[in-house]
Chain A
Amino acid sequence: MWRTFAYSISLLLFLNCILIQVHAQDTIPIPLKIRVGMEVSGPAIYYSDKNILNEEGYISIDLNEKRSVVLAAGYLNFKYSQYNYSYLNHGSFVRIGMDFNILKPDKSMGKYWAGIGLRYGLSRFTSEVPNFQMTDYWGTTSSSITAKTNWGHFVEVSPGVRTEIFNHFSIGWSISLRMLLYSGAGKDLRPVYFPGFGNGTKTFSTGLSYYIVWNIPYKKINAILKKEVKEDTDDNVDTDTKDAAGTSGTRKQGTVIRQ
């Protein structure tokens, strides 16, 4: 009887230790934010080249410390002219998708973002060729193509970085790798350039965007920092130490407890 009682007490103490361990895991408060960003290279390019005006902004909402949904919208007014043709295109576009932060919570702290964005883009544009010329055996032929409105569809992958430089303000850049799904204009009159995508004569296009972002915190969550299992066997002593903010050392992974 006494032995059974001793076993029961030992079992209870053991389970209690496990429970204490679970609840005593390191956590870090992560602010979830609504971000409102403006692309700044478009207006800067327009300042030096009046033939292309691209204005773009986005809003994103953090779902957790890793993922956020993004809605971007913009406007393009494009004029192009060379020795044998001139081309006009103006219209607007939207992109919708997700951003994925690859930084761990103790690194990102809600301020830093390095990751990848996935987007679907839809563009509505009106293009026109006021004149084009071609010269052949029969002489020079001049013609034009009247304005027509089309819808273009594309997908985009955009790796990039973003960092908070002042309270609630971030800057960052991203590279855009886009794949055209449908230009809407048929194979003969593909758009030379269209909003949100770029050069519509090619299946793939690239771009570079610089952003200024206003961050609005709307909720805080606690990210749990799991200690990683060390692989080397010669030193099993856990050297991680907590700092004043309750964050811990370098070899940790994060999961989240919502408050």
Chain B
Amino acid sequence: MRKFIPESLLIILPGTILFLLSCTAGSCFEETESYLKASFYNNTTLTAPDSLTLYGLNTDSLIYNNTASVQPALIPLNASTESCTFGIQINGVTDTIEFQYSSYPHLISKECGYTFYHQLDTLPKFTKHIIKDIYTGNKTITNLNVENIRIFY
């Protein structure tokens, strides 16, 4: 029995320490929203606009309000609908862009939970007051920093 006690301690003690160390709580440090990333290019200087205002149609709040040198613009799509239309004012001239897409849930991590990813179904529809063209690259819209469209103005 005397021999048993130190051997048992040898087993139980490090095991308990390891068990306690294994109980660590996690926090969410990742981007939880999926934005459509749009880069802006002036047709001659290839630079971002001096002033950008962006808002969802039929909403009260602005995403960008006369913001300078936005590159890229982060455009939030509505997961509850299959299309979104935005008003976009570049250097004081307003256009609209409509995106059609499908949304699906994606687990970010245990700590952060779920978000919606989107897949662009069609090429964006837009008015051409200042926008010259829109090039679509990666059609999958995630929480990663990957460019989706290029807006030439």
Contact = CB atoms under 8 A, between A and B. Distances in A.
A136 B76 contact: yes
A161 B7 CA distance: 11
Contacts of B7: 163
A201 interface: yes
A134 interface: yes
Contact of B8 (A80, A165, A192): A165
Given A82-B113, A138-B56, A145 B105 contact: yes
A165 B79 contact: no
- Mostly, the B contact residues are mixed
A134 B116 contact: yes
A163 to B, nearest CB: 6
Given A165-B4, A171-B11, A189-B106, A132 B114 contact: yes
Interface string B69-110: 000000010111000000000000000000000001111011
A94 interface: no
Nearest to A170: B11
Contacts of A175: 18
A41 B12 CA distance: 13
Contacts of A143: 79, 105, 114, 116
B113 A132 contact: yes
A131 to B, nearest CB: 10
B107 A188 contact: yes
Contacts of B115: 134
A84 B76 contact: no
Contact of B32 (A134, A161, A172): A134
Contacts of B107: 188-190, 192, 201
B117 interface: yes
Interface string B28-63: 000011000000000000000000000010010101
A208 interface: yes
- Mostly, the A contact residues are strand
Contacts of A189: 105-107
Nearest to B34: A136
Contact of A163 (B11, B113, B116): B11
A85 B11 contact: no
Interface string A151-180: 000000000010101000001110100000
A41 to B, nearest CB: 7
B104 A188 contact: yes
A138 B33 CA distance: 12
Contact of B63 (A137, A161, A193): A137
A108 interface: no
B33 A192 contact: no
Given A143-B105, A171-B11, A188-B107, A134 B63 contact: no
21 contacts: A82-B113, A84-B113, A85-B114, A129-B105, A132-B105, A132-B113, A134-B113, A134-B115, A136-B33, A136-B79, A137-B76, A138-B56, A138-B59, A143-B116, A145-B114, A165-B4, A165-B8, A171-B11, A173-B18, A201-B109, A210-B15
The 9 residue pairs across chains A and B that have the minimum distance between CB atoms? A173-B15, A137-B76, A138-B78, A85-B113, A132-B114, A84-B113, A188-B106, A141-B79, A192-B110
Given A188-B106, A207-B22, 19 more contacts: A129-B105, A129-B114, A132-B105, A134-B79, A134-B113, A134-B115, A136-B76, A136-B79, A137-B76, A138-B79, A141-B79, A145-B105, A163-B7, A189-B105, A189-B106, A192-B107, A192-B110, A206-B22, A208-B19
Interface of B: 4, 7-8, 10-11, 15, 18-19, 22, 32-33, 56, 59, 61, 63, 76, 78-80, 104-107, 109-110, 113-117
